[in-house]
Every structure is written in structure tokens, then in C-alpha cells.
Structure 1
Amino acid sequence: MAGVRIVTDSSCDLDEADTTALDIGVVPLSIRFGDDEYVDREELDVERFYSLMDSTGLLPETAAPSPGRFEQAFRDAQAAGADAVVCINLSSALSATMQSAQAAARALEGEVDVRVVDSRSITGGLGTMVLEAATMARDGADADAIVARVESMIPRTDIYGALNTLDNLKKGGRIGGAQHLLGSMLSVKPLIRIVDGAVEEAGKPRTRRRALETLRDKLYEAGEVESLSILHGEATDIDDFLDMISDRYPRDTIRLGKIGAVIGTHGGPAVIGICYLRS
């Protein structure tokens, strides 16, 4: 179709139904368990990822897509009739994925009009921006308007996560401003926040229950929010958390999903994240 096509990466954690309905191109990262490497979403789905992390005992690693994968996605969009591509990616502070997208855009300069946007976000935050951009593209907005809208969402996007362990975040080198949590990592169920695209500490509750209560409190302290998403890494207590916030946010008002392999690699099993736009 003519107009703008949206491309993102697999850390967006959007369902295939959404990406198909809105014609969103998803460029996958790769996930490594020891010597075995898998292409996210193509060779490794969410359920198998968490199963492998549990059964192997290995802490996985991620690798950014090559510029060639982005270049192919941009060419595919052009071949489908798009006159411009807006590519929205996970935070450049956490991955080299943005650099790959930018390199691909430069390689196609003069052939394909590609705008690359750093979401400064991950998982549900990135996914919300991508859904908004794709909806605008479907409705006929041009690339300038879509980029302007996404850029207006970036500073209003908040993400908090309740982790069950810091092991994955520590090994992956993404611990950022939560570094000082390591001294007590065995005795807390840490909360983190994404601030300007990087990881910061948001609390040090000592039990999982208290971690979820603190996560709820962070949401309530934000006041009225837009586009609330809650995603989790096969957390068995996700229903407990949804019950905790049901007085303000019934389930049918929330976009609920799974945290996939890219962010699950660093967040670890049982992570629960909340993502929203401040009003």
C-alpha cells in the first residue's frame, strides 16, 4: 500500500495479530543460550524461551540485528508500495539495534525515505509507540506527522519493572543506575525504572508481594495515565497483580501481553512490567 510503513524490532513485544493487522515490519534480534543461537520470534517463541531458561539454567544473551536485516525490511516496505518508512527501535542506551537501523537507512539514502527514531524505551513502551505510529500510517498520516507524534510520546512514557532476580540484568551489563542494588541482590526483589532509555533503581522491597504492591503504588502515584500496558515473563502471580489494581484499572482497560526473549533475557523469569503515558 502507498503511504508510510512502520518497522520496529522484536523487543516491542507486540502480538503477531497486531503486527499483521497494522502491517508492521518486525526485525528480530538474536538470542544465545551457550553455543546455541536463535532468531527471536522466528526460531524462538516466548514459551520456549522461558522453558529453555528454566531447563538449561543458562543466562541467555542478546545480539542486535545486522544492518542487512533492517535494509531488507526497508526494501520490503518499498516493494509493497510505501513511499516512506518510520523505524522505531528500543533504546540506544541498551542495545546496538538503533545503530544497525541507522546504518541501513544511510545505505539506502536516495533510494528509500527512512526515518529512524530512538524510542528511549523497551517492551510495552516501545510497543505503544509503534501501535500509535502504525494506526496513524493506516489512517493516511505522513512520515513527518508520525515522527512528531512518536517524539511527543517519548518523554511521557514511563516503565517500571518488578524483577524476581538481578542475575540476568547483571550478566547482560544493562544494570546502569541500579548498580548499587548488587550488594543486596540476594535479599531484595528489586524494582527498576527506565529513565531516558537507561535502567535506574526504583525500589528495594524484600518480598515479592511487597514488590508488586510497590509497583501498584508507582502506577497510582502517576495519577491519570494513558495507554496502560502490563507485560510479564510467565509470572505465575500476574493475576494477583491485576487484582491489586482492578479498582482503578479493570482488565478490559489494559493491554496485557508477554515480555519476549529480548527483554526477558535481561529482566529474567517472572518479571512484571507496567508501561504507560503520563497525561
Structure 2
Amino acid sequence: MTIRIVTDSTSDISPEQAAAYGITVVPLSVFFDEETFLDNVDLDNEGFYQKLQASATLPRSSQPAPAKFQEAYLRLIEEGATGIISVHLSANLSGTYQSACTARDSLSEEQRTIPIEVIDSKNISAAMSIGLFKAVEEAKQGLGIEEIKANLIDHYERTKLFAVLDTLEFVKRGGRIGGAKALLANMLSVKPIISLKDGTVIPVEQPRTRNKAFARIAQIVSESEPLETLAIGEAGEEVGKQLYDVLKESYAGEIKRYKLGAVIGTHTGPGTVAIVTVSAKK
């Protein structure tokens, strides 16, 4: 069997990783005023954050049209896929999941000759991609589509993301504030910690300094153990290294590091750093 994996660019999988794992990435669009870029295709992460800091206006992002997902599905079918699992960022943050569902459901019976499973990860960035890499390995081992899907859903249920922001301004202006509205009163004087619950942004705490925020993140990690995976998602190398050094003081396991891409950066801003924890199976 040949089960193929499709995702969108908010998984922050690099082109090199996508090629190595055989994952099809359908990009979202990022808009700076009148300029349009395909996420991580026309504009890489470094270029995005440079433009973000230089731009007088907040960029916008937009989900792929259903036709883009249909193109991906049909190409994989033609290549001999026996099943497709299409995994996307939280439906509460974007219409991307719905766009993928529309694409699947609009295929004719003649076109849709194999099962296509579309999954709302209720996550974003590394909180999505870590599970995708595991799904690829399971497909190589010969697991069936239903088993891979069930394992992915279980993986995402055990996955949590906590992000430290320099400011909530970008989340507010991007319209993804959700339950984090409670933090706005002190937005300019804190380094807020936010998380996702059922795919929606929620506030966690409001430390006054980055050092205090990182200390709280380290405490969250210690309270979450035992962990299957711990990873850092970073908007920049420096802030990622700072959090890594703090975590290594108390966490003995491997800490993987990933880049936060343009779409999440549009709504969280430069200076953002996050952790992704995957709790061990009980």
C-alpha cells in the first residue's frame, strides 16, 4: 500500500523536509499590501520576518482554494497512491481545513478512486508536523489508512503548544485573539504565554519579563513529564537558543528545534518562541 500525506504550509515543513519525507505541502498565501507570496515558496521564513519588521502594515494570510487541494489529490492518485491523509491547521484558526474538505467532496466518483481522509489537527506549526513525520514512517511500515489516521488523532490529542509572545498586538490585529482577550489590558507590559485549547487561542499567564516567561515554560515542561517529544518553535535563532538553554537546565531529553513560518508569524509577530509537548502514551 502507498499511503500519501498532504498538509498545508502552516505545518512549517521546509521544502527539504517535504522532499525527504514525500509530503505534499499546499501553501497558503501571504499578502504585504499589494504584494502576494506563496508561503515558504516565494518567501522563506527569514525573508518573511525581515519584511514583517520593515512593513508599516500588518500582512494578511489566506487559505488555499479548494482547487489547489484537488490538484494535489489528483496528482497523488495518478502517481499510484492507495490512500491520502490530508492534515491541516485548526479549523478555528483558518478555513484551510474546510477548503480541503470541499476539495475532497467535489471530486467526481471517477476521480476519487481511493480513500481520502481529511483531519483537523487542532494545532499549527511543529504541533502539526511532528505527527506528520510519524505518519509517513507508519505508512512506510505498511500500516493501513485507518490505523494511521487513528494514531494521528491520538497523537494530536496528546500534543500541546505554549507560545511566548513579545506582544499580543499581532494576535489582536490579525483577528485570532479568541479567549486571549483577557490579556489585552496589560498587553504592552507583559510577555504573554498563550496556548491552544480545542484549536482556539487561549491565555495562560502574563509574566512581566521574558526570563520569567521562560522559567514558567520550563515549569510547564517539568509538570508535563513523562514526554514522548519536546520541541521548540522559533521565529528567530537567538530567542530559540535562549529558551533551549533554559529548558536544558532541567530537561534531560532531546529538544528538537523548528522554525515558525510566515502564517503563524503574521498572527504572533517577531520574537515569538513556542514549545510543543507530546505526552507519553499511558
TM-score range with shorter-chain normalisation?
Answer: over 0.9
Structure-2 residue corresponding to 1:271: 272
Unaligned runs of 5+ in 2: none
1:63-103 deviations in Å (ceiling 9; x for gaps): 00100111111111112110110001000010000010000
1:33-85 deviations in Å (ceiling 9; x for gaps): 11211111111100000000011232111100100111111111112110110
Structure-2 residue corresponding to 1:135: 137
1:215, distance to aligned residue in structure 2 (A):
1.6
Structure-2 residue corresponding to 1:199: 201
For structure 1, which segment, 123-132 or 96-105, has the greater mean C-alpha deviation from structure 2 after superposition?
A: 123-132
Distance 2:217 2:35 in 1: 35
**Conservation of the 8 A alpha-carbon contact between 1:235 and 1:272:** no
Give 2:119's match in structure 1, choosing from 113, 117, 120: 117
Distance 1:146 1:243 in 2: 35
For structure 1, which segment, 148-157 or 227-236, has the greater mean C-alpha deviation from structure 2 after superposition?
A: 227-236
Structure 2 residue 72 is matched with structure 1 residue 73: yes
SS of 1:237's equivalent in the other structure is: helix
Distance 1:15 1:217 in 2: 30
1:16, distance to aligned residue in structure 2 (A):
2.6
- Matched to 2:256, the amino acid is R
- Matched to 2:140, the amino acid is R
Unaligned runs of 5+ in 1: none
SS of 2:92's equivalent in the other structure is: coil
Distance 1:48 1:28 in 2: 16
**Conservation of the 8 A alpha-carbon contact between 1:11 and 1:122:** yes
**Conservation of the 8 A alpha-carbon contact between 1:6 and 1:137:** no
1:235, distance to aligned residue in structure 2 (A):
5.1
1:123, distance to aligned residue in structure 2 (A):
0.7
Structure-2 residue corresponding to 1:91: 90
Q: How does 1:20-99 map to 2 (within 5 A)?
A: 20-99=19-98
Structure-2 residue corresponding to 1:179: 181
1:240, distance to aligned residue in structure 2 (A):
1.9
Distance 2:6 2:18 in 1: 10
Distance 1:265 1:217 in 2: 28
For structure 1, which segment, 11-20 or 66-75, has the greater mean C-alpha deviation from structure 2 after superposition?
A: 11-20
Structure-2 residue corresponding to 1:256: 257
Distance 2:211 2:58 in 1: 25
SS of 2:37's equivalent in the other structure is: strand
Structure-1 residue corresponding to 2:217: 215
Structure 2 residue 164 is matched with structure 1 residue 162: yes
Distance 1:223 1:75 in 2: 42
1:200-255 deviations in Å (ceiling 9; x for gaps): 001101112211111221111112111212111115232221111113445x8122
1:263, distance to aligned residue in structure 2 (A):
0.7
- Matched to 1:269, the amino acid is P
Equivalent pairs, count: 277
Q: How does 1:230-249 map to 2 (within 5 A)?
A: 230-234=232-236, 236-249=238-251
SS of 1:186's equivalent in the other structure is: helix
Distance 2:248 2:79 in 1: 43
Structure-1 residue corresponding to 2:148: 146
1:187, distance to aligned residue in structure 2 (A):
0.9
1:108, distance to aligned residue in structure 2 (A):
1.8
1:23, distance to aligned residue in structure 2 (A):
0.5
**Conservation of the 8 A alpha-carbon contact between 1:188 and 1:205:** yes
- Matched to 2:122, the amino acid is R
Distance 1:109 1:133 in 2: 27
**Conservation of the 8 A alpha-carbon contact between 1:7 and 1:24:** yes
For structure 1, which segment, 266-275 or 233-242, has the greater mean C-alpha deviation from structure 2 after superposition?
A: 233-242
